[in-house]
Chains A and B, each alone.
Chain A
Amino acid sequence: MSPLNKFPFMPRALSQLVESFRLLPGIGPKTAQKLAFSTLKMPPEQVNDIANSLRNIKSEIIYCKKCQNISEVSICSICTDIDRDDSIICVVEEVMDVYVLEKSRAFKGKFHVLHGSISPANGIGPDEIRIKELISRVESDSKIKEIVIATNLNLEGEATAMYINQALNKFEKNLKITRLARGLPSGSDIEYADETTILHAMGSRVNINESL
């Protein structure tokens, strides 16, 4: 039984708002109720601002034609930035990954957002994410010299990386395809590391003079 049935006298507008909040990830019935009651207590201007922001997110946000990142214009600010390196593209799964990489300031090239990873068990194959767009971008842009695959380091992310590698290797273009290094996270103890991480960290070890 839905917890909402415990409040048969809840006004329809409020129960509709609770149901709407419940659609968001990580929001359960209790949190949805708390959010709805908080909204009720807010001044009308604030509620209007929230409503407008929600409306605008669908009407004003589009996908960049080049990198598939979210943008307000057809070509996003990262793609039009002339100070960034056109020859290197970092392929990420989600828009959030772009923000994380940008925050680190470790990458000065351009991005390509896949909007997911290959997940066969959930019916997500290469056609369901934006791999085709990446392939046609690489095919048509002669400036691209390197693709950095930064998909997540789980089986689905690995399968996506392998698929992209296979697809891009078909081009006779001299393209360098790289994968983000993996190993021990900064500040961690070796004592608690798992075998897989140790194996990769050993395999990707670097000269001490070359390390950052």
Chain B
Amino acid sequence: MKAYRKKKKYLQTESIVLKVFDFGEADRIFTLLTPDNGIIRAVAKGVRKPKSRMGGHIDVLSKVNIYISLGENLSNISQAEIINNYSILKKDLSLISISFYILELCEKFSVENDPNNDIYYHLSYTLDILQENLQNPLLIRWFEINLLTVSGFLPELYNCLISGEELDEGDHLFSSVNGGLVDKKYATSTDSYIPIDKNSIKALRYLSNNGWPEVNKINFGSNSLEKLKIILRKYIQTITNSQINSEKFLSRIF
């Protein structure tokens, strides 16, 4: 009988390193976000040793060109070359804390072998902006709302979730469970809502409809930004059904 040998598959792609953890004696497992294959988890052998050729190329928060041999259980990284090291971000603790947060969000919203490349390009674009617009809290909110958009989780911001009617220009309620705004008069006592004022609603709509160059010109006010932070974090927690670990460190540093 002829021996069946499975063809080994190779993949060369650009990727952003989202997460890493030590594995075995001197190996590391990297969680990589790619444009065409979603998330890939792959092991880099011997990467923790000082003489590893890959060690300096591959780390969290790096855009790398990667060569992977795909395995059934775990893929192997055979080569890595830096495309962008985001060295400006890595020199500042506040920027590192923001980066950890947005990388974790991308990991939570991405799936393996997903050809949808919007999350990848949104992350890549945001990291580039972050290098120029240092420490701008508005950028985090813009990133969050657009991540929700590209993942298909944009909350309903124009019509009441219960009645379906168009919302008037006033204060309303936000339902993180149902994902959107609810008119006060239709609110049920069983659901928990977050009250949201009209300025914060306008800010949320503006952030979801505009690119960063337009958003960056607007001053939304600290109250609205704080409100958006509470609402978006609650909504993201509900969707992902988990705590965002980096949030604690971000709040402490930034």
Contacts and interface: CB of A to CB of B under 8 A. Distances in A.
Interface residues of A, number: 27
Interface residues of B, number: 35
A162 B96 CA distance: 10
B108 to A, nearest CB: 10
Interface string A101-132: 00000000000000000101111011000000
Contacts of A187: 51
A158 interface: yes
A185 B53 CA distance: 11
B243 to A, nearest CB: 8
Interface string B84-112: 01010010110011001101100100000
Contacts of A163: 93, 253
Nearest to B250: A120
A156 interface: yes
Contact of B85 (A25, A188, A196): A196
B248 A123 contact: yes
Interface stretch (B57-65, B142-150, B221-229): B57-65
A159 interface: yes
Interface string B207-249: 0000000000000000000000000000000000001011011
Given A159-B96, A196-B56, A26 B24 contact: yes
Given A120-B246, A120-B249, A194 B82 contact: yes
B59 A121 contact: no
A125 B90 contact: no
Interface string A173-188: 0000000000001011
